[in-house]
Amino acid sequence: MPRGIQKRSLTARRGRAASIVSALAKAYPRADCALSYSNALQLLVATILSAQCTDERVNTVVGPLFARYRSAADFAGAELADLEELIHSTGFFRHKARNIREACRIIVERHGGEVPGAMEALLELPGVARKTANVVLGTWFGKAEGVVVDTHVLRLSGRLGLSRRENPVKVEEDLMALLPREGWTSFSHRMIRHGRRVCKALRPLCADCPLSRLCPSAGKAGK
C-alpha cells in the first residue's frame, strides 16, 4: 500500500476516534475510577482485587481490608490465611493474597514503603500487568503512560472499530496511536462507564447509545 494512503487512513481513523472521544466526554463528563481508595497503595491493592471481579464487589471488601492493613508493611507482614479470608469473595483469593503480600514486600524493600510512580517499577510487582499499572499511574499519579484496557474497553474497542485485535496489549497499542496522550486516562474511565451502563456484553442498549451514529456494530452487537 502506498505510504500516502496509509497516512490518510491513519488520519481518518484519528478523526473518527476524536469524534468518539467527544461523544463520550459529553455523555460522561465526570467519569472517574469506580474503585474505593484514598491513597496509591489502596488503589493498587483494589485494582489487583478487581481482576475477574466487579468493582462493586471489591468496594465491599476494601473497607474492612484497609482498616486492618494500613501500610505496605502491614500487608507485607500479613498472615496469608487472614488476608485470604478478607478478600475471599473477590475470587482467585489465594493467588491475589500472595500477589498483594509479595508486591507490598517489594514496595517496602525497594521503594521505602511507597508505591512507585514509574511503569517499569510497577510491572516488577507480582499481580501487576499493564492494566493495573496504567490505572495507578493515570488515576493517582496523573501520568499518561498508556490506556487502561479492561474487559469493557476491550469489548467496546472492537465494537466501535477502534481496534480489530483481541490481545489487550495490542489493543492498547492501537488506542495509543489513535488518541491524544493527554486524554488516555479519561478515555478509559468513560469507556468503562459506557460499557457498564449502555454497551453491555450480552444486551447492549444500542437504541439509547450516544455513540450509535459512530458505531459500526450498532444494532448488531450482542446478537
Q: At what angle do helices 168-178 and 151-159 cross, to 10 degrees?
A: 60
Active site residue 220: no
Out of 150, 208, 220, 223, which one is annotated catalytic?
Answer: 150
179, 12 Cβ separation under 8 angstroms = no
199/190 Cα distance (integer angstroms):
12
69/94 Cα distance (integer angstroms):
17
Active site residue 223: no
20/167 Cα distance (integer angstroms):
21
Length of the chain: 223
The single-letter code of the amino acid at 64 is P
The CA radius of gyration of the chain, in Å to the nearest whole number, is 19
DSSP code, position 206: G
Out of 131, 170, 200, 208, which one is annotated catalytic?
Answer: 131
7/159 Cα distance (integer angstroms):
23
- HSE-up of residue 73 (Cα within 13 Å, Cβ side): 2
Longest dimension (CA), the chain: 61
Residue 169: φ, ψ to 5°: -65, -40
Catalytically annotated residues: 131, 150
